[in-house]
Amino acid sequence: MPAVVTIVLIGALGVALALACAGGIAAWRARAQADDRVAEAVASLAAGMHETMRDLAEALETQSASQGIDRNTRELASSLELEEVTTRALEEAAGIAGVDAVLVEAAGPDGGRFTQTLGMVEDEASKTAVPVPDNDNIRALEVSYHYRIDDVENESPIVRSGIVVPMRADGLPVGSIAAFTRTAARKLTSVELDELEYLAQRAGPALENARRYADARSLADIDALTAVHNRRYFHETLSREVARAHRHHRLLSLIVFDLDDFKAVNDKVGHLSGDGVLTEVAERTLSVVRAADITCRVGGDEFAVVLPEASGEDAELLAGRIMRAIAARPIGAAGILTVSAGVAEVRPGDTPADLFERADEALFRAKAGGKARTVADGNGS
């Protein structure tokens, strides 16, 4: 019965992703006014998927007594949050006799890969990880580690051996789970391999379901035209980052910018070409921001960049780079374009609205001061 549930769920998630992608295309054609409707629809779809997952978990609970479905299977199937599912898989693997450390490597959202560990630090994991060859006939890899300065302390806390088991979902590889021992005289037994393999059989579909759910959720956060984050995601992120900055006494800054005279651009080249201008502006912005910065389109031709761990001066410098990147060369028939920007740094007691309003007011002053410039909150020039 769990296999049937997994197949049904994966099929449902595939249909959901197809519907979400179709919604994204429709939003692009309908331009900016459709973005919010797509975001709400995909968010609602994702919420429905989550609710379906919980219903399936309850069904597994009901059937467990009569069909022998264990508690850990129910727990792995009860969540669609990738981190939560991975953590449960790691904890279950760590509970196997003789296991001192665990590493999960699997497919992540947006086509990426992710690694999560228990009982080992990131540097050790990168030196210890063993990729599984693309061979459906491989049940597991048994690995022994021999060191140049090995037996000075035979029980030193370094990885001595391990077993790596591939994880699959619907017959396709999705990653691997590896269990390690730090005791030279103790290797994992065939019984423990059976336990790890059983875990991999359940964790693979659960992780794949969570990955697909994360992909569906991400569609609700992306502006369909420019492919940067949308207004809804901006306000959620700003609220989260302001709270984090206050809680940990961290720096946080915000840039709000828009194109100068964009209405004239639309009048000159038409709205369709104007959409192309916005897409190019987003691409040029992404080419200069830091990996940690969050770029969003907040409406029309207005963009915002949230800068965690950055001062107002840092934000001014980045705003300058954005302005130069956009004005560096013509954008299609629109020619050379300029932007104006407002910058604000979080203050004690700020709400997200306070920070945004100060940055927006600084943008207004940049426009009033002649455009093609950056104004920082509290700076009249």
| Domain harbouring 274, CATH code | 3.30.70.270
Same domain, 61 and 185: yes
| C-alpha distances out from residue 310 to 52, 103, 346, 348, Å | 41, 33, 10, 15
Same domain, 188 and 243: no
Is residue 108 situated within a structural domain?
yes
User: Which one is catalytic: 301, 314, 350, 354?
Assistant: 301
User: Of the residues 219, 242, 258, which one is the last residue of a structural domain?
Assistant: 219
The pLDDT tens digits along the chain (381 residues) read 444 444 444 444 454 444 444 444 344 344 444 455 555 555 555 555 555 455 444 544 444 444 444 556 566 766 788 889 999 999 999 999 999 999 999 998 878 899 999 999 988 998 888 889 888 889 999 999 888 765 555 556 889 999 999 999 999 999 999 999 998 878 899 999 999 999 999 999 999 999 988 887 777 888 989 999 999 999 999 999 999 999 999 999 999 999 999 999 999 899 889 999 999 999 999 999 999 999 999 999 999 999 999 999 999 999 999 999 999 999 999 999 999 999 999 999 999 999 999 999 999 999 999 999 999 997 544
CATH number at residue 38: 3.30.450.40
With beta carbons less than 8 A apart as the criterion, state whether 195 and 96 touch. Answer: yes
Residue 354 is among the residues annotated as catalytic for this protein: no
With beta carbons less than 8 A apart as the criterion, state whether 163 and 128 touch. Answer: no
Alpha-carbon gap, residue 283 to 301, rounded angstroms? 14
User: Of the residues 172, 188, 219, which one is the last residue of a structural domain?
Assistant: 219
Is residue 225 situated within a structural domain?
no
Among candidate residues 223, 233, 333, 228, the one with its CA nearest the CA of residue 285: 228
Alpha-carbon gap, residue 74 to 173, rounded angstroms? 22
User: Of the residues 163, 193, 219, which one is the last residue of a structural domain?
Assistant: 219
Residue 28, token pair as written in the block: 């692009």
Domain around 273: 231-376
| pLDDT (0 to 100) of residue 23 | 46
- The conformational region for residue 271 under phi > 0 = left, psi -120 to 50 = alpha, else beta, is alpha
Among candidate residues 380, 226, 196, the one with its CA nearest the CA of residue 296: 226
Q: Are strands 294-299 and 302-308 parallel, antiparallel or unpaired?
A: antiparallel
CB-side neighbour CA atoms (13 Å) of 320: 7
Alpha-carbon gap, residue 359 to 318, rounded angstroms? 14
Residue 68, token pair as written in the block: 């022998």
| pLDDT (0 to 100) of residue 372 | 96
Is residue 195 situated within a structural domain?
yes
Residue 348, token pair as written in the block: 């004690």
Same domain, 58 and 94: yes
User: What ranges make up the beta strands (E) of the chain?
Assistant: 101-107, 113-118, 141-144, 161-169, 172-181, 252-259, 294-299, 302-308, 339-345, 374-376
Among candidate residues 241, 234, 230, the one with its CA nearest the CA of residue 351: 241
Same domain, 284 and 237: yes
Phi/psi at 206 (nearest 5 deg)?
A: -65, -40
With beta carbons less than 8 A apart as the criterion, state whether 55 and 75 touch. Answer: no
| pLDDT (0 to 100) of residue 183 | 87
Same domain, 160 and 18: yes
Same domain, 94 and 189: yes
Same domain, 47 and 113: yes
Is residue 381 situated within a structural domain?
no
